[in-house]
Amino acid sequence: MKAETREVTVSVNGRELTRRTEVRTLLSDFLRHELGFTGTHVGCEHGVCGACTVLVDGVPLRSCLTLAVQVDGSAVETVEGLAPEGELSRMQQAMRDEHGLQCGFCTPGILMSLLAAERDGVSCERACTDVLGGHICRCTGYQGIRAAIRLRWAELEHEAAAPHGEETPA
């Protein structure tokens, strides 16, 4: 029996893309295999590890638990969108400065959740606990990641306190 297919249009990092795909295609597979955004990693495929996290209309979602057809018409943000010109985002730089990664497998998902947390004005403590708690890292012991979060949130605090016009880019 032939699998049912449907056309799906998504804006990925600001670029509108359309592909016909099977209705059972997961968003993670759609992004990776059909659109070429391989920065979204797939670990457990069961919604546990958080590696596959992307933003859909600004909300962090496990792309391994989401069907591509469910996000038809939505704006999707992936890790590739954080450094479109190759220059690291401030959070990426903080991860680098504080040794917040080793193999890097978990990193894209963590960065996307932290981006949403930054935008939502989540406190540093909640970013280090609730937000990071949704992600499994098998390498770092989390200390470097927490140090990177504290570094970035200190920057945000500084920006908030600075006179208008001194903000640093996300």
Our CB check for ligand FES shows the closer of 54 and 115 to be 54
d(CA 142, CA 106): 11
**Amino acid identity for residue 70 in this structure:** Q
Degrees, nearest 5: CA angle 74-5-45: 65
d(CA 116, CA 59): 7
Identify the CA nearest to 95 among candidates 159, 143, 52, 40.
Answer: 143
Token pair for 162: 């600075």
The yes or no reply on residue 141 touching ligand FES (CB under 6 A) is no
Of 79-87, 115-123, 125-133, 135-143, the segment contacting ligand FES by CB under 6 A is 135-143
d(CA 40, CA 157): 29
For the CB of residue 144, give the shortest distance to ligand FES in the complex, in Å.
9
Our CB check for ligand FES shows the closer of 17 and 48 to be 48
By CB under 6 A, the residues from 32 to 71 that bind ligand FES are 42-45, 47-52, 62, 64
Binding residue count for ligand FES, defined by CB under 6 A: 22
| Choice from 132, 140, 147, 152 touching ligand FES (CB under 6 A) | 140
The three-state secondary structure class of 165 is: coil
- Site of tokens 């406190």: 123
Beta bridge partner(s), residue 53: 62
The yes or no reply on residue 114 touching ligand FES (CB under 6 A) is no
Q: Output phi, psi for 136, to 5 deg.
A: -105, 130
Our CB check for ligand FES shows the closer of 29 and 118 to be 29
| Choice from 106, 127, 128, 132 touching ligand FES (CB under 6 A) | 106
Our CB check for ligand FES shows the closer of 5 and 102 to be 102
| Choice from 105, 150, 155, 156 touching ligand FES (CB under 6 A) | 105
Which residues in this chain contact ligand FES in the complex, by CB under 6 A? 42-45, 47-52, 62, 64, 101-106, 137-140
